[in-house]
DNA sequence: CACGATACCTAGAACTACTATGCATTGCAG
DNA sequence: CTGCAATGCATAGTAGTTCTAGGTATCGTG
């Protein structure tokens, strides 16, 4: 299953903030995590993630710091800020609202009768 | 609560297909329905909806036909096609997958420990 | 010492969506 | 009987964003 561009875009920010809410991490690791975590359905590229991280930092939702492990390359670790946590909560609320609306439509709730249902082709 | 542009974009197609899956309708009515249905949270404009309907028609997901009611203006009624129903099912599956992934992150499932959790600021 | 994996970054083309505007009809308030 | 709000549909063009493609560099391993 290939996931729509729009859906990928809409879920990117809450996913990253959600992951960082559990602990610091860095770009490459986040990438692997998301790709595995979704069973390969969300095919993120680094070209998607890095600009997003930069944007989140510019907005003050995350902070970053370089770290050089004993062995291996330098990594830029990201940490969520209080503002970021607030944003995450906001995003969760929005997702909940939209999912509720969709569920309403998909379950054909009684409030969803069409306003007019004329015979087709008259 | 103002809903993100991305989220609006991602939910627009499944919402419209979902509404039309319950019966024919026309632009203006769909607009009112969505705005009310979401408690005013999804603020759709006609400039968003009409191009979307045209696109869905171009893709063969919906069909349209003009109708003139006894009283009132002419309306262009839209009806979902078999292809559209297939697309709707596909979209539902995608939404489910993404929502599941998000839920996993938000609930801090045990599989979501960060790969490395170094002391910050070292 | 070469190659695959790790790790990060960005310019610019390619695409897309939203604003603003336009048109036409109907029904109701004044 | 007139003028305005609501109904109803449509699109051009800009303003914006996103993805592709490429670039840099280090490390571990065969």
- Residue B104: per-residue pLDDT: 86
- Residue A81: per-residue pLDDT: 95
Average pLDDT of chain A is: 85
In angstroms, what separates the C-alpha of B94 from chain A's closest C-alpha?
A: 6
pLDDT at B34 > cutoff 80: yes
pLDDT at A25 > cutoff 70: yes
pLDDT at B110 > cutoff 80: no
Q: How far is the CA of B45 from the C1' of C29 (A)?
A: 27
In angstroms, what separates the C-alpha of B59 from chain A's closest C-alpha?
A: 15
Contact (Cβ atoms closer than 8 angstroms) between residue A53 and residue A62: yes
- Residue B119: per-residue pLDDT: 45
Q: Give the global pTM.
A: 0.84
Structure tokens at B2: 């103002």
A84 touches strand C (CB under 7 A): no
Q: How many Cβ pairs closer than 8 A exist between chain A and B?
A: 162
pLDDT classification of A36: cutoffs 50, 70, 90: confident
Q: How large is the average pLDDT for residues B87-112?
A: 82
| Closest residue, CA to C1' of D7 | B73
Between B111 and A49, the more confident residue is: A49
Structure tokens at B30: 């769909």
What is the per-residue burial (b if ≥16 Cβ within 10 Å, else e) of B17-44? Answer: bbbbbbbbbbbebbbebbeebbeebbeb
pLDDT classification of A107: cutoffs 50, 70, 90: confident
pLDDT at A110 > cutoff 80: no
């Amino acid at each position: 299953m290939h996931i729509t561009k729009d859906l990928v875009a809409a879920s990117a920010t809450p996913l990253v903030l959600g992951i960082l809410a559990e602990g610091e991490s860095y770009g490459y690791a986040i990438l692997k995590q998301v790709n595995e975590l979704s069973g390969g359905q969300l095919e993120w590229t680094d070209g998607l993630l890095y600009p997003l991280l930069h944007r989140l930092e510019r907005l003050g939702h995350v902070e970053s710091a370089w770290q050089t492990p004993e062995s291996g390359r330098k990594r830029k670790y990201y940490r969520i800020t209080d503002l970021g946590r607030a944003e995450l909560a906001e995003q969760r609320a929005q997702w909940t609202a939209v999912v509720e609306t969709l569920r309403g439509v998909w379950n054909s709730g009684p409030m969803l009768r069409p306003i007019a249902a004329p015979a087709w082709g008259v």
